[in-house]
Chain A
């Protein structure tokens, strides 16, 4: 896979005003139908369109020449591309392509990425009569909604809350395992990003102790293909240097990246999305010389497990290992559908409506009408007595009625008729996983405490005296300091 040059900033982080070639872009067909594609000015896969690389979608074909260099957010028309004649001329990449397609989920909608032999000048694209897409720069949210699923992924409501609780901010160094499909990875990269380290990836070790701490995601995945695929995506997305993927079993072999000693990571946030987080926890112990955790900061941790039994084991392990502020939550999120609901006899025969009576009056009116009709029927059938009254509306046939309703449709402004309602989306995710949070305070030795006591002697200044135990205690503050010494670090008030 082609690698974007290291000088190109990630389109996730600096998208510029216009789309550029060799960068990831999203074709927005409709909500929940988003196609990621790498824009290419010519080839990357050999398919043989005369327009150069073309993305084919259910809403038309889009030669990349029409997608490059346009302002992000533009509505782009489909082009008239001859999809029939190409490809038959002995296209060698077909088998490979099909395999790739099988990997994807929405097979129909995968942008077919094709190329032209470099010598041939791409033909200018011609607008098609219909069809368009919106061209968007990638964001972690869009990527999460459109990425090729290789595993279960963490969705936006969960990762948003997790990153918030993990205090993942510019400059945070975050460890993640397992990386899976990289959904969380991208959101984490955005959160911690505060610039590209000047040093090359691999020996960013120097970054840790320097004044500026570069935000970084150290990502671990023990499934080889997944690790490799994610690594390729990270490069493709310009996130090299911000995310580093390592193929490793985090439970068995710990958190040591390929070329960096674990002790250089100095991570201050950890996210574990793997089946047995309690097995990985032991590799996070600070005591070990190969601990990847920062010694001078508190560590925020989150584990993400679908089952309550996993949670219990994790929390037991956390307590034993001295983590504090342990807290477990789950996030339930849903989207809300807004629509206009039209009810009533006047809607009869239309689609997407409820054509039963809208009110008692309407119901009675209709009943009366039916009643009238059957009376006529009976009367005619039996004695042929002349009908008392009104042939009127009762005699309009159903067909006529439907027709007139349909005809009236043209003049109606349906978008503001009916009642405006909202309800939860049809398919609710009622459980994703349990989120366990914990904090490991910075280490604090007796030595540290002694220094702090020297620097900040607890002298007493009696302010706003209140009655009660507080005030009384304060008055007795001439007591002598008891020298530390106690394992539990007493911080006695010293007299000045």
Chain B
């Protein structure tokens, strides 16, 4: 469980009044600056609960000096501007005059007797000069101000010449806008996967995560059926370890996908985040030790993280690799890119031993998977005799053992991955999904879930077409020689995946304020984001005839029909389904 209090060295998200988010690491005894909103002491948020809203306030002490501190803003104050029972809201208006209640839209509500209950903005000139405080004046005022920004907002409102002409709606909107700009408040949020995903998508670098939106990320999570498979729980009462929960991943979102899965598998957040402090200190000391440990860069998965092995020239036990609840990542470059895991205190190049990902995440390259003998890391280093080893200097000895261990780990990972039996395959990659499936479907157990994300739909459409009912029927009717697969007609074996489906989801945000409820008027464009799902199946041996009015289809040219129905419920089901039996 994620700690509920801000831990020293933790990464946290700060939500600012503008709704922008920034991410910082809370280093004790430092000052954290949040740009125009001001600065505060890290120690003022360490040890405090998440989700509180703080206000930066500069107070003046007796001797005339300013000091900066934080104040917890009570919830009631957060909503002070929202008057739920505001009598001027249109819902209260008699007669239900259906004004087009959008902000800034002309609006007039006439009471029962014809009197104007509410001003419209028809008379207001859209004059940018109606704000008579100049930018310079505002800045000057800001510099003098010691407060939270509320006085400033009040001042600005006061000086707005046309304020009394504003409608209640416009005024509320104006206040809101000014609040966002000048209020010196922030909320501290734990940096978990949802918060991280949102931050990168909206504030940081959407392309880095392939524009993966939260609603899609959560769909991937569900359809992949990723969940925790606790390995310590004995379910039969005999202490027999539960196996399973092994997922295969291709992640080119810098580790967001891995993080999201790991969170669902309870291996993302170290169980004891009090250890964070020690861990952070260790890794900063570690820098010195890794100078001659460049081999760790070649083998990021090696368990040897810290210094001791340099001075510990004894054979150590092979890496302790979890057998259940694991993520196996295949990467296209020599090294995996898992840079986002740093926010969860995991460095793939130097995995901290205390981190659950250390024993539950394994990585290998496509070369190691498909042609391990061409990979140097897979080649067994020579075995030296005991005497020879003893004759070596300690540096050479430790080097020898380290190489053996690294090789052992790579070999275990590669062999185990090639043996297959994975519970699911999850993909977010810019590579062709056809090429990925061609090399991974065989590694999946029956009923394993396949989930492929793509920012755009085209590659998934092409993929679905290779699993269309028509193509599968043709494949079954006239099976190509399996040695010749893949063929032009059958780039993939269409009988191995069931119910291929493409879907998408979109989250629409609303503003809910008394009398002013409507969807937000702008949102993020860019890629829509699509998810392909299917289930790995094991076709029966020999020919299997579908049931249904199967004969008829051949006679009246139902081939055409089946093809036109692919992608419909039909594809992926029993062969019978393209025939309408209802």
Q: Which residue in A187, A308, A466 is a CB contact (below 8 Å) of B517?
A: A308
Q: How far is the CB of A40 from chain B (nearest CB, A)?
A: 20
Residues of B within 8 A of A330 (CB): 507-508, 510
Q: How many A-B residue pairs have CB under 8 A?
A: 417
Which B residues are in CB contact (< 8 Å) with A136? 447, 535
Separation of A181 and B265 alpha carbons in the complex (Å): 26
Given A75-B537, A195-B233; A15-B65 close (CB under 8 Å): no
Check: A477 CB closer than 8 A to any chain B CB: yes
Q: A328 with B572: in contact, given A13-B227, A442-B4 (CB under 8 Å)?
A: no
Cβ of A332 within 8 Å of any chain B Cβ, yes or no, is yes
List the A residue with the shortest CB-CB distance to B446.
Answer: A73
Could you mark each residue 189-216 of chain A with 1 if its beta carbon is under 8 Å from any beta carbon of chain B, else 0?
0110111100000000000000001010
What does the 1/0 interface line of A256-283 toward B look like (CB < 8 Å)? 0000000000000000000000000000
Report if A304 contacts B (CB, 8 A): no
Q: Return B571 CB to nearest CB of chain A, in Å.
A: 7
Categorize the interface residue count of chain A.
35 or more
For B72, list chain A residues within 8 Å (CB).
444, 449, 488-489
User: Given that A74-B537, A167-B194, A330-B507 are contacting pairs, would A488 and B448 also be in contact in the complex, using a CB cutoff of 8 Å?
Assistant: no
The answer to whether residues A336 and B504 also contact, given A73-B446, A164-B214 and a CB cut-off of 8 A, is: yes
Is the Cβ of B446 less than 8 Å from the Cβ of A71? yes
Q: Which residues of chain B have C-beta atoms less than 8 A from A164's C-beta?
A: 194, 214, 217-218, 221
The reply to whether A14 and B537 contact each other, CB–CB distance below 8 Å, is no
Chain A residues within 8 Å of B512, by CB = 311-312, 315, 326, 328, 436
Partner-contacting stretch, out of B331-339, B382-390, B400-408, B539-547: B539-547
Q: Are A322 and B445 in contact (CB under 8 A)?
A: no
Q: Let me know if A73 and B447 touch, CB within 8 A.
A: yes
Q: Are A72 and B446 interface neighbours, CB within 8 A? A: yes
In residues 34-84 of chain B, which contact A (Cβ within 8 Å)?
38-39, 41, 43-44, 46-54, 57-59, 61, 63, 65-76, 78-79, 82, 84
A28 in contact with B499 given A191-B264, A351-B556, A351-B564 (CB within 8 Å): yes
Give residues of chain B (498-517) contacting chain A, Cβ–Cβ below 8 Å: 498-499, 501-510, 512, 514, 517
Contact partners of B84 in chain A: CB under 8 A: 316, 319
**CB of A478 within 8 A of chain B?**
yes
Query: In the bound complex, how far is the Cα of B568 from the Cα of A352, in angstroms?
Result: 13
Interface membership of A398, Cβ < 8 A: no
What are the residues of chain A within 8 A of B221 when measuring CB–CB?
160, 164
Which chain B residues border A466 with CB–CB below 8 Å? 33
Is B31's CB under 8 angstroms from A132's CB? no
Q: Which of B152-160, B291-299, B304-312, B456-464 contacts A (4 or more CB under 8 A)?
A: B456-464
Which of B52, B222, B546 has the largest count of A CB atoms less than 10 A from its CB? B222
Q: Which residues of A contact B (CB under 8 A)?
A: 7, 9, 13-17, 28-33, 58-60, 71-78, 128-134, 136-137, 139-141, 156-157, 159-161, 163-165, 167, 169-171, 187, 190-191, 193-196, 213, 215, 296-298, 308, 311-312, 315-316, 319, 322-342, 347, 350-353, 406, 409, 412-418, 420, 422, 434, 436, 439, 441-442, 444, 449, 452, 455-463, 466, 469-470, 473-474, 476-480, 482, 486, 488-493
Knowing A325-B187, A444-B52 are in contact, say whether A461-B31 is a contact too (CB < 8 A): yes
* A304 CB to nearest B CB, Å: 14
Do A473 and B457 form a contact, CB below 8 Å, given A28-B573, A324-B75, A466-B33? no
Query: What are the residues of chain A within 8 A of B509 when measuring CB–CB?
Result: 327-329
Docked CA distance A9–B237 (Å): 11
Q: Does B502 contact A422, Cβ atoms closer than 8 Å? A: yes
Q: List the A side residues contacting B75 at CB < 8 Å.
A: 319, 322-324
In the bound complex, do residue B232 and residue A333 qualify as a contact, i.e. CB atoms below 8 Å apart? no
Of the candidate stretches B117-125, B342-350, B360-368, B574-582, the one touching chain A is B574-582
